[in-house]
Structure formats: structure tokens, C-alpha cells
Amino acid sequence: MTDTLLARFVRYARINTVSRPDAGQSPSTPGQWDLLRLLESELRALGAADVSLDENGYLLATIPATSAKPSVPVVALLAHVDTAPDFNSENIKPLVHKKWNGRPIVLPDDKRQVIDPARFPELARAKGQDIVTASGLTLLGGDDKAGVAIIMTLAAHLLAHPEIKHGPVRLCFNPDEEVAAGMDRLDLDQLAANVAYTLDGDNPGEVVWETFSADQAVVTIEGVSTHPGDAKKSGMLNALHLAAKLLVALPRENISPETTDLREGYIHPARIEGGVDRTTIKFILRDHNTAELKLKGERLRGLCAGLQAAEPRAKITCVIHEQYRNMGDWLRQDMTPVHLAYEAVRALGLEPTSPATRGGTDGSRLTQMGLPTPNLFAGYHNPHGPQEWVVVQEMEQSLQMCLNLLQLWEQKSNGYKGRPLKKKRAAKARRRA
């Protein structure tokens, strides 16, 4: 399976699938269609069932059940086809370092780019394995082409080996995860799964079931603008000064991203725009504990109210929008999807780890929408920049873990409910190969 997995990864990584924020269309860029259409034709050639690519760029397919048991849950596996807009992704040249010798990897197209195992212990431990990097001028896009290649290779393997017993498996390749629009237009009734996993993580053994809960706050400060020449007489009130006051009043110790780690949340002023008459500050608020997140919102509102009281002539508003929620808030109620993933990891001879992610995943949204979706490792490292790499053997481990996992669901999951299916969908999903 190694060569196929590697060949697939390299083939997909070469396609520029960068996503763009605020594009107003899905997918946000045409390059994502190129990969989606390629995957669609490959899935058809492999003999997958119900292959469909919709007008918003969601590619779905089914691997029909091989188990005769009637009640095995429908498990979906997801990976996103887009790559991050943070760094150049034009003309990606994946380089394979077979049986890597353990020395710093100098990227040939920009020799200042050196991936040094002294700085990355997760690279150092991969000595002797097969590493793929970019060439120095682009990112690699292992996030999440690794996940895409693993799911495609898994599909090929399962379709060629009907003796492996599993329930119905749904595959989903989606656009625009990196610009936080990955799940915006996914129809969960169309996906028709009881439980799901994203393959969008790094280190072998990682099973992530806790993410941040996230809100955005927009503070708008309206001042009084006059000609600066007679501002004293005409009573100028400068919104910029008020914005500065607000930022200074916001403590940084233990509550900003730069001073927090692990399970500590933060209030982060991410963007400021405006002038004398009107200034807007956008904050992002993060905490693993959703109740604590709400308190952070209250704290910010309190600071705004204080500023308003001190300057009655200004008009200050603070509007808080929910972005996503910690998937653990739901998964804790039934840990079956997590415990089976742990078992699938242990069957590889690895001890599972579950760091609480300081961010969100597509699964945060899905879980909140009712489809339990932990995130599994895919073997990519240091993503979103030129010094990114994947370890082929770690992608293989991820593939093997998925095989274990689907068989465990077949053996052990009787009675698990997860997200209920619509009747017609349920009947269709249960139809066997």
C-alpha cells in the first residue's frame, strides 16, 4: 500500500488548492475543483457507490457494507481538499526523501529554508523513514492532502478486499476548511452518517475530541469628528484614543494568546480599523470551557461599558457572535467514537494521546450540528509554511488505524445511535455491496 499512498499524496499535493477568505463562492478558488474532479473520477474508477460532486464542491461517496449485521452505524471519513492561504502554493514540487538520513533537510529552491531535526523532535524521531517536503518556495499542503490520500487509499483497499468486515462507510471531501467555511454548505442529511471522523491531525496516536469554543466580538466606537484646527472649540472626540484606552485596559497577562498555553483561553484583539469619527476593533475569544468563554465576553462588555460611562458623548457597542463550540461538550455524553478510536490506535502498538486543540476543526461544527466527529492523526507536520513535511510511514499508520476502526465499529458498536438517519437514507445506506 505504501507506494500507492505515496503516489496519491504526491499527485494531489501538486495541485494548487489554496482557499481564499471572503470569496463569496464555494469552493473559494477554481484549483479546488481540479482536485475534487480528479478524486471524483478516481472514486468512480475504483468502483465506489453513490459518487456525487455537488455545486458547492462537496464530494461524497459510499463504500457499501460488507457485514451482514443490520445495525452497524454508518461511519463517515472526511478530509478537506483546500490548503492554507498563509504561504505561496503556486507550482508545488513535492520532494521524497527516501530513508531520510537524519541530517537537516535543505530545500533546494531556497537554501535558507532548512528543516532542522534539532528544532523538531517529531522530525528527529522519523530518521530512516520516508519524508516528503516541498522545495523551498511553497508550502507542501500535507494539511490536508495527507488525509485525502489516506482516505482514497483506504477506499481502494476496502473495495478490493470485500472479506474485510465493515458497515457502510461514507466518504466526504470538502472545500475551504482553512478559511473556516468548510462545513457551511454541507447537507448532513446528504452525508447520511451516524458518526464521523476528520483525518486532519499530525502526530501518530492523536485522537482529538476537545477543541476551543470560539466567539468573535466586534467593538464599534463612534466619536465626534471636527476640523483639527478648531477641535478644542468644536469638541472633537477621537475614537482612536478611545480604542487605545480600551486596548490598554485589557489585561494581557494570562488572557492574551502570547501569554497562554494548554487549557488557558484568551481575548485577542485581531484587527483594528477606522479613524477619528469611528473605529472598529475585532476580537476573537477562545476557551475550552464554554462557560468561561462567556465570562470572557462579559469581561469585554464590562470594559466597553466602563469606557462608555467615562465618555458619554461617544457611542460604544460590543456585539458578540458565536463561531464554534468545543466538540467535547457533546462527545462527553457518549464517548464510544473516541474509545473505539483509542482501541484502533492501541492495535498499532501506540498509546493514544488527546491534546485539547487550541483551535477548531470541521468536526467542531459537525459535532455541534449533531454529528459526533473527533479528529484523527494524518501524519503531516508544521503546516501552512515552507518547512512543512509528511512522514509516509505515519500516513500508513493512520490508514491502518482507519482499517482497524471500521472493523471495530462492525464488531462492537451495536446499539450506538449518534446522529439519526432519515428513513429513506437509512435503507439506502444499509444496502449491501
**Which active-site residues does the annotation give?**
82, 177
Per-residue x/- track, 144-183, Zn ion (CB under 5 A):
x---------------------------------------
Identified binder of Zn ion from the candidate list 200, 287, 396, 410, rule CB under 5 A: 200
Smaller CB separation from Zn ion, 143 or 410: 143
Identified binder of Zn ion from the candidate list 130, 143, 311, 394, rule CB under 5 A: 143
Q: Which stretch binds Zn ion (CB under 5 A): 24-32, 40-48, 194-202, 317-325?
A: 194-202
Distance CA 427, CA 433 (A): 13
Taking the complex as a whole, the smallest distance from the CB of residue 84 to Zn ion amounts, in Å, to: 8
* Binding flag, residue 206, Zn ion (CB under 5 A): no
Q: Which grid cell sits at 161?
A: 478486499
Confirm if 280 and 319 have CB atoms less than 8 A apart: no
Smaller CB separation from Zn ion, 143 or 394: 143
Q: Which stretch binds Zn ion (CB under 5 A): 13-21, 33-41, 137-145, 422-430?
A: 137-145
Taking the complex as a whole, the smallest distance from the CB of residue 146 to Zn ion amounts, in Å, to: 9
**From residue 115, how far is each of 50, 98, 100, 129, 382 by CA, in Å?**
42, 16, 12, 15, 10
Residue 300 exposed, middle or buried by CB count within 10 Å (0-12, 13-18, 19+): buried
Residue with cell 494548554: 262
Taking the complex as a whole, the smallest distance from the CB of residue 82 to Zn ion amounts, in Å, to: 9
Distance CA 320, CA 216 (A): 6
Taking the complex as a whole, the smallest distance from the CB of residue 285 to Zn ion amounts, in Å, to: 22
Distance CA 255, CA 297 (A): 12
Smaller CB separation from Zn ion, 136 or 147: 147
Instruction: Tell me how many helices (H) and strands (E) the chain has.
Output: 13, 17
Displacement of CA 184 from its chain's centroid (Å): 13
Confirm if 102 and 127 have CB atoms less than 8 A apart: yes
Taking the complex as a whole, the smallest distance from the CB of residue 144 to Zn ion amounts, in Å, to: 4
Query: Residues binding Zn ion: what is the number (CB under 5 A)?
Result: 3
Dihedral angle over CA of 344, 353, 147, 190, nearest 10: 70
Smaller CB separation from Zn ion, 311 or 388: 388
Of the candidates 169, 182, 151, the one whose C-alpha atom is nearest the C-alpha of residue 57 is 182
Of the candidates 334, 338, 77, 344, the one whose C-alpha atom is nearest the C-alpha of residue 209 is 338
Q: Which stretch binds Zn ion (CB under 5 A): 41-49, 200-208, 362-370, 398-406?
A: 200-208
Smaller CB separation from Zn ion, 200 or 410: 200
Q: Which stretch binds Zn ion (CB under 5 A): 135-143, 187-195, 316-324, 401-409?
A: 135-143
Taking the complex as a whole, the smallest distance from the CB of residue 89 to Zn ion amounts, in Å, to: 14
Smaller CB separation from Zn ion, 136 or 182: 182
Helix (H, G, I), strand (E, B) or coil at 353: strand
Question: What is the binding site for Zn ion (CB under 5 A)?
Answer: 143-144, 200
